[in-house]
Copies of this chain bind each other. A is one copy, B any other.
């Protein structure tokens, strides 16, 4: 086991709103490169309705191609029961259910109350258990909501408590719009670390870097005891609900930070940079990551 796990979400979060739609081949190449860098868990796609997210319409096909990659656990985002019906036809290892900490975000983006959505999650959880799939529950807008402003930490803790009382394997706390600052991490995460440890579940943190505080938040969370982070190779992506919101923190920047801290991530920087170059090439957005450019310059890579 590594001291810290980074879960790359670039094939999903990085590519899901890009105006250029990556092909199945391109996605498979990206996922292969990511796996070659040592990543053992990758969120490879999502089972959202193709009408809303055409970029992920090929979810089944991508999964069929990447499940054969050795030592890789695939994760797919699942927004509802219909999405799970598609997911269960695949060999995906883990399904990631997303619900928001605020009612308004849920109403606008899922069309359900938090209670209704949680009820649907429980139905999916039963099916997933039958199917032998791991499950994650992501709490979106855990620090701030585009509609409600700063999120009440108690709303996150209450939802987390309900989630941790279920059979779920992983709780994910997401700063969906990249609004968190380190003091919010310090205020919210210690209790969640304790709760998940007590429940014997995994805890991940999913950060965006809209305001440049992504790495500061990740470091603060590490200091507090968080040991699993979601990040996106080259920092590509954005949030469809916050115009101009930036991508996830860059996988290679986070990996570099931990390498410098002598904290094992199991990742090989050189190969990770190659994967990040592929990710960047599939995105029309300016990648956020800093280390990719530095490595490429040092290596004389033509990027």
Contact = CB atoms under 8 A, between A and B. Distances in A.
| Highest count of chain B CB atoms <10 Å: which of A212, A244, A293, A294 | A212
Contact of A211 (B209, B212, B294): B294
Interface string A209-220: 111110110111
A261 B181 contact: yes
Interface in A206-238: 209-213, 215-216, 218-220
Interface stretch (A8-16, A60-68, A252-260): A252-260
Given A181-B261, A216-B216, A219-B216, A211 B244 contact: no
Given A210-B290, A212-B290, A216-B220, 15 more contacts: A181-B257, A181-B260, A181-B261, A209-B290, A210-B294, A211-B253, A212-B250, A212-B291, A215-B216, A216-B216, A216-B218, A243-B297, A244-B293, A244-B294, A244-B297
Interface residues on chain A, size class: 20 to 34
B211 A291 contact: yes
Nearest to A213: B215
A79 interface: no
B256 A211 contact: yes
A260 B181 CA distance: 8
| Highest count of chain B CB atoms <10 Å: which of A210, A218, A290 | A290
Interface string A34-55: 0000000000000000000000
A290 B253 contact: no
A246 interface: yes
A180 to B, nearest CB: 10
A289 interface: yes
B183 A261 contact: yes
Given A216-B219, A219-B216, A253-B211, A290 B181 contact: no
Copies in the complex: 2
27 contacts: A181-B260, A181-B261, A182-B216, A182-B219, A209-B290, A210-B290, A210-B294, A211-B253, A211-B290, A211-B291, A211-B294, A212-B212, A212-B250, A212-B253, A212-B290, A212-B291, A213-B215, A213-B257, A215-B216, A216-B216, A216-B220, A219-B220, A243-B297, A244-B293, A244-B294, A244-B297, A246-B290
Interface string A159-189: 0000000000000000000000111000000
Nearest to A217: B216
B210 A212 contact: no
A213 B253 CA distance: 9
Contacts of A257: 181, 213
Contacts of A219: 182, 216, 220
A293 B212 CA distance: 12
A203 to B, nearest CB: 20
A208 B77 CA distance: 37
A210 B244 CA distance: 23
Pairs of residues from A and B, 7 with the lowest C-beta to C-beta distance, nearest first? A216-B216, A212-B290, A215-B216, A182-B219, A216-B219, A181-B260, A211-B290
